[in-house]
Amino acid sequence: MDKGFQMSKIALVVDSKFTASETGLSLAELQAGVDGLIQPINIREDLTMWVNEEFSFRGEPDPNVLATAFFAEIGGNYDIHGSVVFTGGTDEEGETLGLPEEHQDLIKSLCGYALQF
């Protein structure tokens, strides 16, 4: 990777009400974003969705429709409950990368679009 290129250090938390907010990439920030222990779901090479490891057992009545749709795209066949955190995959050393700006924009726009309904 070109060392002159500035990588994003931003992750996006998305809840079941389509609210998107920025957070950092530390373990504590990822865990706070999902309200518990984390589990990664790799959507693409440059997009990881972090969920609470008990996402299918959470007591929240409404599923996170956006997270469930991303999960369905890779073959998931059940609902994801609770907030999720989107990051940009991992680097060669396995370190979590920030969410690329174009992914940030897309996810924020999907949330805004969903809120219109």
Q: Is 114 exposed, middle or buried (0-12, 13-18, 19+ CB in 10 A)?
A: middle
pTM of the entire predicted model: 0.88
Separation between Cα atoms, residue 30 and residue 33, nearest integer Å: 5
pLDDT at 60: 72
Give the C-alpha distances (Å, rounded to integers) separating 73 from 26, 70, 85, 103, 111.
27, 5, 17, 16, 17
Going from N- to C-terminal start, the domains of the chain cover 11-114
Query: What tokens appear for 2 in the block?
Result: 């070109």
pLDDT digit string (tens) for the chain, length 117 residues: 444 444 678 999 999 999 999 999 999 999 999 999 999 999 999 999 999 998 777 677 789 999 999 999 999 998 999 999 999 999 999 999 999 999 999 999 999 876 665
Packing angle of the helix pair 65-73, 101-114 (nearest 10 deg): 130
